[in-house]
A and B are shown apart, each in its own frame.
Chain A
């Protein structure tokens, strides 16, 4: 019951924040403009509802989604939040559990943004093209978004514990990569824009390249590792380091 109360409180606090609402509105406006000006024509003459076009759409939206995610992560490390940590530490609930609840709230708030941005696309497909076979597209979205989101979230939470400014640095890096369309190798492509490269190289049947998939697997592993590490209290980590140092 208490966990649920904390979860509800954290979730409401996130989704009712000005940053979240502002970014969500920006995201949705951007999604609509992409659908109207780009998706409707299909990427490189493919169908507007092809996996190629959908990947192109998702990679365009990913930058904003990452910014939204990082903004929510940064909210966890504001000076007032840090000021609250002695109270939270003194609470009977284990810190790990409390953090996990907060992560859950972030995940749900972020999932809403993802579902809305994908949902708006599916509604567009349904209304304009009578297309409703979304199974493959959902799988594509999971492969495109889930690993990179896990990685960015994990790194952000780990960095945020050290300094909030590091989250903004990460945000800036993602922003520059997105704005300047800096081409990243497939296995490092957190934005996902390299997923449509095979199309421009003459491949018409949709497939993710092996380096892209391999990169995604690494993202998941590193992301989970970072999240797991960020869940354990910093004090414990320092203790572990100190004891291992003494042993050696």
Chain B
């Protein structure tokens, strides 16, 4: 019998077996059940991704059992010795494994008969073929295939059905546990072998960054599983020998050991060369050097480095130019940056340039002479440092040509937020041009230009930009910054609606796919009302031209405010949330709170900087939460605002008061520095978002009402525009004392 007909015979045999058909039918039924009963943050999430992830878990479990049944059947029926006496066991097990993978493929295709039309109907205009393919064929079918390879590998290795089953159960549980601990342990996305770590798929823009992680996960997991399978195959017991003798006997055919080495090597390469995340050292290791500057209001923290202490004052940056091109086909950024530097010492110096770790400096020139740029091995805060030697000359020009694929910050999360693809570009500040730590002249002008596909509409977080020309389908944008900081940008197929509010022109930039929904909902009315309200009670925003309200993909899971931009993810624009007349709960999708919160940050956090301290929970978050509450009370009424804000703050304050580590701060000393810091961070969050707003409410009562306090806050805002505001400033402006407002002692901790 030739190999092909032997394989087709094995497939036919399996398809005739009632047990196999039962396993396949149950797996298909599970996919249908999860499609009908899953929920998610977006339509693609709810009707494609989540059902495929849950189905992958149960599918992996069922195919583990099916594989064991199939591999154990000869032993159970006492036919193994007869069969293996006339057939090569290696090819016999290969046929059986391939047939099982064939069963998995048939199961997936049968599932698709329901999942595809269901996804098409439910997601409608938001359907994305690549997302469907990644979810059902890479995640679900991938999980089935991996479970077949691993189970058969372990079975052949141990020759014990119980041992193989238990190991597989352990591996399935491990994959689930990784998901459960993804935020505290931040495990590598390559390890989520069943369901991958993809989440919060967007309806409105490409999910390519997340699909990349799924592809790399499978690219790593497949050779690992194949390695286990080949190892198992190589150790099939021969002639009654033990493990080692059988392994040597099986290795007489050269291909099993060679394949084993190849798969292990491939898995190792995939692990070390994965291109999506950098190797930034974990936050805990440099926690002392960071400063938390901003919270999105939804739990998303961003950090910045206090680089003043590391500033190189021996060199002075007098001018910087960067010419950047984004290639969406190759998904790379390339650029040339020119630095004019004054050497203040008259001695040779070293210039350090920080770049995204995915970039390389391809060429470096100092005063027109080509020089070597040396990369530091350490990656930190999504940057790798390159060093270039500078001569003793007073004036030096440094030119660098750089570029590459963007790598995301591994130390923060294993969710890729940044990158380049045809439909969506997200370039954080660390990725535009090499930044330097040398001091700069006060009137520094950083002039930049950017070439970007014309179908992508960029938003530059407050930078003043000019559209220069369009050549070969690429638009050239240009701008000038007054400091050495890089620019950041988000680009997609955006539509912009412009309206007037608070004396400013507001650009509401949202995804083109959201056009109909935005027209039907009253988002602009709420935003306009909020901006008008805050302008009236606190004073106008002082911006050069406009304020941008930016819609982000669901992956961001929250929002942020930076420059003159307030941004929030697509899930906050749920129609129900903006149609108060049509629902008892105007904030059905919990979107308005975040939008108003991020708008309020324009006054508190961006136009003024509220300085945190060691003895209070004073920060931009407290005043912003209070402002959000005040506006929503004004807009929706007292009952709504009390339930959504005051009641929640009081509940959380009670939790804080009862918290073990608050009542017994001495126990914090027993913990390690990083554990204590994690405990503090959780409590700090309650302090910032719940206790401080309550303290501000207390101030309101002490001053005789909200109007009096709003006046004081307005005074505080207008007197400190673009300056720092401390808790002491707040107390002196309101004329209150710390004791009056102190409902929770931070310095207990």
Contact = CB atoms under 8 A, between A and B. Distances in A.
Contacts of B184: 37-38
Interface of A: 18-19, 22-23, 26, 30, 33, 37-38, 40-42, 44-48, 50, 63-64, 67, 71, 74-75, 78-79, 128-130, 168, 171-172, 175-176, 178-180, 204
Nearest to A172: B61
A179 B169 CA distance: 11
Interface stretch (B537-545, B627-635, B652-660): B652-660
Contacts, number: 80
A130 B671 CA distance: 12
A40 B671 contact: yes
Given A45-B659, A67-B169, A175-B61, A22 B185 contact: no
Interface string B159-175: 01011011101101100
5 contacts: A19-B166, A40-B671, A45-B662, A45-B683, A129-B667
Given A42-B661, A44-B655, A129-B670, A179 B166 contact: no
B660 A42 contact: yes
Contact of B658 (A45, A129, A130, A172): A45
Interface stretch (B86-94, B106-114, B471-479, B674-682): B674-682
A46 B61 contact: no
Given A41-B679, A128-B670, A171-B169, A48 B162 contact: no
Contacts of A178: 173
Closest 8 CB pairs of A and B: A45-B659, A47-B660, A179-B176, A37-B184, A42-B660, A19-B166, A18-B163, A26-B170
B671 A128 contact: yes
B682 A41 contact: yes
A130 B669 CA distance: 12
Interface residues of B, number: 38
A128 B675 CA distance: 12
B57 interface: yes
Contacts of B158: 18
A22 B163 contact: yes
Interface of B: 54, 57-58, 61, 65, 76, 158, 160, 162-163, 165-167, 169-170, 172-173, 176-177, 181, 184-185, 655-656, 658-662, 664, 667, 670-671, 675, 678-679, 682-683
A131 to B, nearest CB: 9
Contact of B166 (A23, A50, A128): A23
Given A129-B667, A175-B169, A179-B176, A45 B162 contact: no
B57 A22 contact: no
A128 B668 CA distance: 10
A74 B164 CA distance: 13
A38 B185 CA distance: 11
A168 B68 CA distance: 12
Given A40-B671, A129-B667, A22 B170 contact: yes
Contacts of A172: 61, 65
Contacts of B682: 41, 45
B26 to A, nearest CB: 11
A198 to B, nearest CB: 14
A42 B675 CA distance: 12
A50 B655 CA distance: 15
A18 B184 CA distance: 32
A34 B169 CA distance: 19
Contacts of B664: 47
B681 to A, nearest CB: 10
B613 to A, nearest CB: 23
Most buried by A among B76, B162, B184: B162
A146 to B, nearest CB: 24
A168 B165 contact: yes
Given A33-B185, A41-B679, 15 more contacts: A18-B160, A22-B163, A37-B185, A45-B660, A45-B682, A71-B166, A79-B76, A128-B670, A128-B671, A168-B165, A172-B61, A178-B173, A179-B172, A180-B57, A204-B658
Nearest to B654: A202
Nearest to B176: A179
Contacts of A171: 169
Contacts of A46: 660
A50 B664 CA distance: 13
Contacts of B660: 42, 45-48, 50
B683 to A, nearest CB: 8
B675 A40 contact: yes
A83 B661 CA distance: 59
B675 A45 contact: no
B691 to A, nearest CB: 14
B181 A37 contact: yes
Given A22-B166, A37-B185, A40-B671, A175 B173 contact: yes
A96 B725 CA distance: 80
A21 to B, nearest CB: 10
Nearest to A68: B166
A40 B670 CA distance: 11
A50 B163 CA distance: 37
Nearest to B163: A18
A91 to B, nearest CB: 25
Contacts of A30: 177
Nearest to A63: B173
Contacts of A47: 660, 664, 667
B378 to A, nearest CB: 26
B80 to A, nearest CB: 13
Nearest to A64: B173
Contacts of B662: 45
B630 to A, nearest CB: 28
B57 A179 contact: yes
Residue among A38, A171, A172, A176 facing the most chain B CB atoms (10 A cut-off): A172
Nearest to A179: B176
Nearest to B72: A79
A37 B180 CA distance: 11
A23 B166 CA distance: 8
Nearest to B655: A45
Contacts of A129: 667, 670
Contacts of B655: 44-45
Contacts of A71: 162, 166
Contacts of A18: 158, 160, 163
Contacts of A23: 166, 170
A71 B164 CA distance: 12
Max chain A C-beta neighbours (<10 A), residue from B58, B166, B662, B664: B166
A86 B65 CA distance: 29
Given A45-B659, A175-B169, A176-B58, A19 B162 contact: yes
A18 B185 CA distance: 29
A172 B679 CA distance: 36
Contacts of B160: 18-19
Contacts of A179: 57, 172-173, 176
B670 A41 contact: no
Contacts of A204: 658
A198 B170 CA distance: 31
A176 B659 CA distance: 33
A111 to B, nearest CB: 20
Contacts of A42: 659-661
A228 to B, nearest CB: 27
A178 B661 CA distance: 30
B189 to A, nearest CB: 18
Contacts of B172: 175, 179
B162 A74 contact: yes
